[in-house]
Amino acid sequence: MSTPAASPNSPTETTLWKGHTSQWVHFWYYFFCILLAGAAIGGIPFTLGMSAIGLIVPLVMWIIRWWITKCTAYELTTQRLKISSGILNRKLDELELFRVKDYAMDQPLFLRLLGLGNLTMVTSDASTPTIAIKAIAQVEAVREMLRTAVQVERDRKRVRELDVDGSDGDLI
């Protein structure tokens, strides 16, 4: 079998950005794990050391949350947004950029202090109408790359967004 040759209308796809969600997004979860570990350590004198076994629970909770977050990767290319997730079973979701209808960036105070932000996209894709990329570094630059790539891809495919359900019900 031979692979089909690239047509002149499909330029090579290049990676614009790769990233992961920051572990800071789980700060309160990790803080709770530390409290559980502290309680287990504090109970050692009262339980004759048996509560030391309880250190396993917060440690396992911490590792699993860290691993799940680390195993979710985002890749923005000139044509698609690829979302790879899963620890044992891997899943790859792809969103064609011309399907992005709107995007919003927000930086809550805690994330802004850390130089992070969230990027949310509303799409016309039936399987993923909303995509949220949480707690990423340089969110302004990523949003600008996304904006430019969406416009270029729409122009390349000659696609325009059409809203047919206006608030006043009139079609123009």
Q: Give the helix ranges, DSSP H, for the chain.
A: 27-42, 56-70, 109-113, 139-157
pLDDT of residue 38: 94
Domain presence at residue 102? yes
81 pLDDT tier (thresholds 50, 70, 90) = very high
- List the domain range (segments joined by +) for residue 40: 15-157
Domain presence at residue 9? no
As for how many domains the chain has, the answer is: 1
CATH number for position 37: 2.30.29.30
> What does the pLDDT look like over 104-119, one tens digit per residue?
999 999 999 999 999 9
Residue 81: which H helix or E strand, with range?
strand 80-85
Domain presence at residue 113? yes
> What does the pLDDT look like over 30-73, one tens digit per residue?
999 999 999 999 998 898 888 888 899 999 999 999 999 999 99
Domain presence at residue 54? yes
What is the chain's mean pLDDT, rounded? 89
